[in-house]
Amino acid sequence: MATARLMSNRDVTINLRANRNQRAVIDHAAARLGKNRSDFMLEVACREAENVLLDQRYFHLSDSEFKKFTAALDRAPVSNPRLRRLLRTNAPWDK
């Protein structure tokens, strides 16, 4: 997971100011997960940052990158028998 990779080499400091209630809630949640405050906050912040970045609806591509992107979208999908079988299978709650 990208979050674990980001946390492997901690060589910078991030300082935050919080009120007592915020710290208490964070500490309580971290304890529930068996984590310390720093690990919990880094994991949650990185996960949310990834979500923000993945939710981008606008992105900039150079002309050559845009051509590659549209070519990939226009290409017919590769046959995938396993996916086709999965999509034909009834969901467990429909059985």
pLDDT in tens, the chain (95 residues): 555 555 568 899 999 999 999 999 999 999 999 999 999 999 999 999 999 999 888 888 999 999 999 999 999 989 999 999 999 999 889 87
For residue 10, the model assigns a pLDDT of 86
For residue 2, the model assigns a pLDDT of 54
For residue 59, the model assigns a pLDDT of 80
Q: What is the dihedral of CA 78, 79, 81, 82, to 10 degrees?
A: 10
CB count in 10 Å sphere of residue 33: 11
On whether the pTM is more than 0.75, the answer is no
**Cα dist from 14 to 1, 21, 49, 66, 67, whole Å:** 22, 20, 15, 37, 40
Query: 37 is written with which tokens?
Result: 């405050």
How far is residue 42's CA from residue 14's CA, in Å, rounded to a whole number? Answer: 10
